[in-house]
Amino acid sequence: MSDRLLSSLGLCRKAGKLIMGFDAVRDAVANKTACLVFTAGDISPKSLKETKFIAEKHNIEHIAAHVTMDEISFRLGRRVGILAVSDKDLANAVRLAANRENEEEQLI
């Protein structure tokens, strides 16, 4: 199920449009270079709260996905739970993949 989402994130990384880690994402959001903020399902509640706050403050969409940091690590080669996409079209691809994942989970 989450393979589409992880593949989309991998594509973003290969294109050089994926920002990884809280500090880098915070800076990208503040500089208006991030189009979408993405968090793994197993980050700490404090990190999730801070990430949501920053995204909402700057009017950037936030997606809390059901993938784990280990799954992201396996796909991207780096263990992170907070990411941002800096390209509008790639952000749309990640958004669509996340929506499909959520729809499929509701069917199960």
56-78 pLDDT, tens digit per residue, is 999 999 999 889 999 999 999 99
Q: What is the pTM of this model?
A: 0.89
Q: Where are the domains of the chain?
A: 3-107
Main-chain dihedrals φ then ψ at residue 73, nearest 5 degrees: -60, -45
Nearest to 99 by CA among 51, 38, 55: 38
Q: Apex CA 100: angle with CA 94 and CA 101, to 5°? A: 90
Q: pLDDT at residue 1 above 60?
A: no
Q: What is the pLDDT of residue 100?
A: 84
In order of 31, 40, 91, 97, 105, the CA distances from 2 in angstroms are: 30, 11, 16, 8, 10
8-54 pLDDT, tens digit per residue, is 999 999 999 999 999 999 999 999 999 999 999 999 999 999 999 99
Enter the CATH code of domain 3-107.
Answer: 3.30.1330.30
Q: pLDDT at residue 105 above 70?
A: no
